[in-house]
């Protein structure tokens, strides 16, 4: 298959696969500090795309589950299937690394002050790194996120540091800022700027601009979507499509 056809199919595959999250956080790269309420649950089926000069990476389908275990504390898990198409070598598809995390909000939002949370994430090397489906070693992220809302507007952002000692990988900082607005009771739209440092020995830092939103079919079921491109640094085209369910005590 020619490189142009590979690029075309890599771009449209996520649009035809059942796909993660929003209200705040995903489908954007910038996350939010708001945990799932106590005795409530979230489930996502999603697909992501990251196309750069050196590789096309797709998660499809991937599954996420979040639960509020106590007030202000959420437990988090993502289990993805992944497709990798490097510029040199064969394309592969299979189970990738599992993500575990815990979001803890230690400052609640007031009229004049934002809510604040930490959301450490641990990536377990369950995928086959030799086939491009995993990292090869356990790695993690330590971010701090803030959020403030007024009327139909919400802004959130922050950043942190990634610790990755796998072969060919690097530690790097990351951060982002997002602004979104409730257009009506069903549709929310937003945009973000997200940046990260050099993540691998042969990679480069980049800054990406991303647009997307959420459409609520019902109060408990929504469609999530984003698309974006780099502004500076290593070129990336990214995309996200997902379905989100929530249920529980509230």
Domain total in the chain: 1
- Would you say residue 128 has pLDDT above 80? yes
Residues 175-186: what's their mean pLDDT? 97
**Domain span at 99:** 3-248
- In this prediction, residue 138 carries a pLDDT of 97
Largest CA-CA distance found in the chain, in angstroms, rounded: 57
Which position has the higher pLDDT, 128 or 19? Answer: 128
- Would you say residue 103 has pLDDT above 80? yes
Average the pLDDT over each of 17-26, 29-38, 177-186 and give the range with the smallest value.
17-26
Residues 146-164: what's their mean pLDDT? 97
- Would you say residue 3 has pLDDT above 80? no
- In this prediction, residue 203 carries a pLDDT of 86
Nearest CA among 52, 42, 60 for reference residue 240 = 60
The predicted model scores a pTM of 0.86
- For every residue of 13-53, which 3-state class applies, written as one string? HHHHCCCCCCCCCCCCCCCCCCCCCCCEEEEEEEEEEEEEC
Q: What is the mean pLDDT of the chain?
A: 90
């Amino acid at each position: 298959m020619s490189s142009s056809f590979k690029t075309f199919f890599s771009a449209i595959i996520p649009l035809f696969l059942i796909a993660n999250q929003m209200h705040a956080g995903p489908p954007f790269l910038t996350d939010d500090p708001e945990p799932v309420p106590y005795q409530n649950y979230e489930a996502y089926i999603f697909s992501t795309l990251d196309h750069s000069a050196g590789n096309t990476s797709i998660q499809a389908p991937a599954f996420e589950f979040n639960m509020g275990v106590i007030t202000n504390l959420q437990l988090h898990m993502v289990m993805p299937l992944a497709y990798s198409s490097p510029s040199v070598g064969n394309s592969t598809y299979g189970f990738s690394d599992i993500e575990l995390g815990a979001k803890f909000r230690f400052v609640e939002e007031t009229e004049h002050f934002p809510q604040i949370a930490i959301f450490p994430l641990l990536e377990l090397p369950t995928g086959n790194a030799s086939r491009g489906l995993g990292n090869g070693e356990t790695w993690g992220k330590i971010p701090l996120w803030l959020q403030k809302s007024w009327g139909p507007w919400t802004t959130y952002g922050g950043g942190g540091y990634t610790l990755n000692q796998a072969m060919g990988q690097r530690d790097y900082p990351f951060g982002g800022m997002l602004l979104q607005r409730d257009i009506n009771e069903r549709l929310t739209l937003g945009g973000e700027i997200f940046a990260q440092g050099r993540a691998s020995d042969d990679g480069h830092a980049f800054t990406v601009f991303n647009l997307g939103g959420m459409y609520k079919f019902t109060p408990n079921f929504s469609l999530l979507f984003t698309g974006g491109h780099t502004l500076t640094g290593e070129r990336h085209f990214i995309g996200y499509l997902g379905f989100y369910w929530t249920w529980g005590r509230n």
